[in-house]
Amino acid sequence: MRLPQKSRAALAYLVLIVPSALIVLGFLWLFITSFSTRTEGLRSLGWTLRNWSFLWESPFGPQYPSIWWVTLNTLVMSLVMTLIVVVVSSMTAYALSRMKFTGRKSFLSLTLILHAFPSVTLLIPIYFVLIWVSKIPVIGRGVPLLGGLGYNTIGGVALVMVAFQLPFGIWVMKGFFDNISWDMERSALIDGASRFRVWWQIMMPNIKPGIAALSIFSFITAWNAYLIPLTFTAGRAGKSAVLSLYLQNFISESVMTEWNAVAAVGLFQLIPVVIFFLFTQQVLLNIYGGGKKGGV
């Protein structure tokens, strides 16, 4: 029953190539469909640009925000979330990796538990927390651009995503800090730097690969986010809508879903990520680069 060496190798390649082909086909379909009136499989039954008309006119009527407003929302949310995640996780990771303080071990175990903890199970109570935050004056609902930090605001959604991303971020950053030589930090302390300066002027410039990896990862996560914006904003095409919701809205609003138009919007959301990804994949594949020592 033993297969010859060659055919077993062939079988292995088949197992890799067939599913890989599915991914390629899916993306090809997305591309072809968005420029077609109709498709059968990958065959276009007529080319058109009409599917892309959402770029210049709102498909739901003028009372709804345009795609550009939604894109701006998504961009702001993603950038804010990325910035906070990177700054807060690197501060926390620095303290955990490099400083002695009472409670260090417990805090370390805590982040590790949170890293594995399924945060989505907490969506229900977080809904209430956000409603409370909404009631705080100014920061609740009065921040320009973000809307605020409470329920149904860009800032609120960003904040929840920060929370969900933070344990991962801390863990990734700690891996990178752990690998920096102690002598360099000692040397900076002897030169007269405070711990804060050491963190900012000496450590941060030396973990750029880690910062890059975490930033890219966080940005893509935020840009793609669906569940959290869906849960914590009201109305899918409202002022605080993001691209994922806008797209989902497209699918369910129209009685007869116009798949070609949906594909165009989907591609619109996907293209920046893919371009971004192509330029940064090397960095992204190394996200655990810092933590190699621990195996993970």
Partner 1 sequence: MKIVFKHLCKYFGRVKAVDNLNLEVGDGEFVALLGPSGCGKTTILLMIAGIYKPSKGFIYFDQRVINDVSPKDRKIGMVFQSYALYPHMTVFNNIAYPLKLKKVPRKETKERVQKVADMMGIGELLDRKPAQLSGGQQQRVALARALIKEPEILLLDEPLSNLDARLRIMMRSELKRLQKDLGITTVFVTHDQLEALTMADKVAVVNSGYLQQFSGPDELYNHPKNLFVAGFIGSPPINFISVSLQKSDGRFLLKNRDLQIELAKEIGLKAENNSTSSEILLGIRPEHITINKKEGIETEVYVVEPLGRDILVSVKLGKSMIKVFASPSFKANIGDRVKLNFNLDKIMLFDKKSEKSLLLDKD
Partner 2 sequence: MKRRKQSEERGIFPLSNSLKTRNWNFSRLQGRLAPYAFLSPALIVITLFFFIPLVMVFVLSFTNLDMTNFGILEWWRPANWSLDNYVKIFTNRFFPKILGNTLIYVALTLAFFNVGMALIIALITTHISRGAGFAFRALWLLPRITPVVVYIMMWKALAGPAPMGIINNYLLGPLGIGRGEYLLNTSPWVFVILVNGFIGASFGMILFSSAIEAIPKEYSTASKVDGATTWQTIRYIVLPMIKWPLLFVTTYQTLSLLTSFEQIMLLTDGGPGLYQTEVWALTAYHRALTSYFGNIQWGYGSAWAVVLVVIGVIMAIIYLRVFKFGELVEEPKIDRL
Binding site for partner 1 (CB under 8 A): 181, 183-184, 186-193, 197, 202, 205-206
Least Å distance, CB 266 to partner 2, is 4
Q: Where are the beta strands (DSSP E) in 190-272?
A: none
Is residue 108 a contact residue for partner 2 (CB under 8 A)? Answer: yes
Residue 275 and residue 280: Cα distance in Å, rounded?
9
Query: Minimum distance from CB of 86 to partner 1 (Å)?
Result: 18
Q: According to CB under 8 A, which one of 66, 179, 206, 231 is a site residue for partner 2? A: 231
Contact 242, 77 (CB under 8 A): yes
Residue of 51, 223, 236, 241 that binds partner 2 (CB under 8 A):
223
Q: Compute how many other C-beta atoms are within 10 angstroms of the C-beta atom of residue 201.
A: 12
Contact call for residues 269 and 73 (beta carbons, < 8 A): no
- Minimum separation from the CB atom of position 2 to partner 2 (A): 10
State in angstroms the smallest separation of the CB of 184 from partner 1: 5
Q: Which is nearer to partner 2, 76 or 123 (CB)?
A: 123
| Binding partner at 287 among partner 1, partner 2, none, C-beta below 5 to 8 Å by kind | partner 2
**Separation of first and last alpha carbons in the chain:** 38
Contacts to partner 2 from residues 264-283, by CB under 8 A = 266-267, 269-270, 273-274, 277, 281
Consecutive H or E run containing 39: strand 39-40
Closest by CA to 90, choosing from 154, 173, 22, is 173
Task: State both tokens at 204.
Answer: 């941060």
Cβ closest to partner 2, residue 62 vs residue 290: 290
Site for partner 2 in 171-190 (CB under 8 A): 178, 182, 185-186, 189
Shortest distance, position 186 Cβ to partner 1, whole Å? 5
Cα–Cα distance for residue pair 265/62, rounded to 1 Å:
18
